[in-house]
Structure 1
């Protein structure tokens, strides 16, 4: 992996368009409640491309990769095309706690604690199930690499512990045909919704580097977590703006075409919203590939007005029931 260069100064943003007809998840008639990306092998649609050669026999993935590189190379000035493999972390202990206490009680009380009743979820680790979910993704990549799936040129990862653990279990030890190695590149803006919930408060940079010495932190990554606030939960509009900024940065600085982003359900939902993709729910450990065309615009991304905090809500029946 070549570390992306810092974004240049100046006002710009990207306008995004999802190209349909390539992945089943981008099609409007695909039911996300029943879709199994493992059985569907990431959801690549079996089809022909204008760039296919009748004289050669190749796998669907190889035809796809050649076609996408052709589209990218022939893009107009200021445009680029990338395939984003968006992976949600496997089950974490915060997911277990929310299931145990119920969403209402979790949101209004337990999510603000570091842990309770023998469960620790501040910057949560993966559970055993979460580890197995990530290993299943590893097995899928291992299988599809033999079929010619293009190797991610950069492995972007959220700085939260559960996402780094997920990326490691998903990609470490894979034999990439082009000799590329898995090297996780940590991006601060790739995080889950900020504030209030301790599971979304990251560890210090020094702790992250001590725990995961193989990772690379992006330039300017602060030692303490400067984004998480104890009493203000980031609204959806602000989260989508933040993830839009992340995509601006990636499309501006990374020449790669095939990229992996290991993140969180809320962050992935905001990425899908930012690029104009249909809403698509992912189970813990799920992966969705998205083909995106981007056009550079020499104006700043419009920042939404600051909205009230999305939490914590007032505790009602849920805590009353627990008290009894």
Structure 2
């Protein structure tokens, strides 16, 4: 599978670290099973930044102070180093999520996920359910509430080219009153997809179909008509997924000079990004968002590629387990 990020050199890669002390989700004491980013200002910690701000009113606006701080550390960073704030958003509930709950994870992994759908429900390249759409609208409402209070709008919007993530990004950002220099112009990137292969929910539509359904999305250069990454008989192992998402980050940190970025993606992909930046594990419910403050340092040599491993997950079942057969 062609997993090399376009334009990323083999001469160097990046080492990442999470800068703690800015978002509650990055702190070890935060319980991810109870934390609600909707009620906690996306998790931004109320703190002082050490920046010399003369305007008392601006100083009271925590997001504006944080944005100034990020700008300052980038200006003072050494050659080959940079800092970015990534808003990592998981798509809202999709029909595949409902199906996995209905049939159970064991039966889903070995049988149902290999089908395009069942019981009148389609989950290949799954769409959002009404619940999932509302989850994305709730995130939109949070942005609408915080933008007038100084939260910096993302400067770049990256999105997985699967339908559920494209829908989520649109419902989250499309109608926001954004600054003219930070428009919502989503970029579809192959490498920020969910684990590849076997599960039909993770097989994307053709480029033609995506352009027809989402004409405002800019698909990255070289985006192929058919899905080049999904295989029906090989599920991407976690080590390969972690490598792929690290390559995605290398691509972004090498070519995007902006500091505030939005990634609309999937639970597995976000878990791999958190691992790449040495962030604590943090589970997200469908529709959840976690901001992370990241420092990157360019280092010599290509990123080490993991060895080829067997397909992840159980072998296919010839028929559904008796307890979960469709009625």
TM-score band, normalised by shorter chain: over 0.9
Shift of 1:322: 3.2
**SS where residue 273 of structure 2 aligns?**
helix
Instruction: Report Cα offsets for 1:296-323 as digits up to 9, x if no partner.
Output: 1121000000111113446599713235
| Cα pair 1:145 1:177 within 8 Å, conserved | no
| Cα pair 1:79 1:295 within 8 Å, conserved | yes
**SS where residue 321 of structure 2 aligns?**
helix
Shift of 1:180: 2.3
Q: Take 2:314 and 2:270, find their aligned partners in 1: how far apart are those partners?
A: 22
Q: Take 2:57 and 2:179, find their aligned partners in 1: how far apart are those partners?
A: 18
Q: Take 2:234 and 2:251, find their aligned partners in 1: how far apart are those partners?
A: 25
For 2:3, the equivalent position in structure 1 comes to none
Matched, 1:201 2:195: no
Shift of 1:114: 0.2
Task: Kindly report which structure 2 residues correspond to 1:56-205, keeping only aligned pairs within 5 A, or say none.
Answer: 56-58=56-58, 59-205=61-207
**SS where residue 85 of structure 2 aligns?**
strand
**SS where residue 85 of structure 1 aligns?**
strand
For 1:17, the equivalent position in structure 2 comes to 17
| Cα pair 2:155 2:259 within 8 Å, conserved | yes
Instruction: Using structure 1 for the length normalisation, give the TM-score.
Output: 0.95
For 2:288, the equivalent position in structure 1 comes to 286
Shift of 1:55: 4.4
Q: Take 2:208 and 2:155, find their aligned partners in 1: how far apart are those partners?
A: 26
For 1:42, the equivalent position in structure 2 comes to 42
| Cα pair 1:15 1:294 within 8 Å, conserved | yes
Shift of 1:11: 2.1
Instruction: Report Cα offsets for 1:94-124 as digits up to 9, x if no partner.
Output: 0010011111110010000000000100000
**SS where residue 57 of structure 1 aligns?**
helix
**SS where residue 146 of structure 1 aligns?**
helix
Aligned residues: 319
Going from structure 1 to structure 2, the CA distance change for 1:316 and 1:40 (only over 3 Å counts) comes to farther
| Cα pair 2:81 2:295 within 8 Å, conserved | yes
Instruction: Report Cα offsets for 1:72-106 as digits up to 9, x if no partner.
Output: 11100000000000000000000010011111110
**SS where residue 38 of structure 1 aligns?**
helix
Q: Take 1:113 and 1:29, find their aligned partners in 2: how far apart are those partners?
A: 41
Deviation larger for 138-147 or 178-187: 178-187
Q: Take 2:181 and 2:55, find their aligned partners in 1: how far apart are those partners?
A: 27
Instruction: Using structure 2 for the length normalisation, give the TM-score.
Output: 0.94
Q: Take 2:143 and 2:149, find their aligned partners in 1: how far apart are those partners?
A: 10
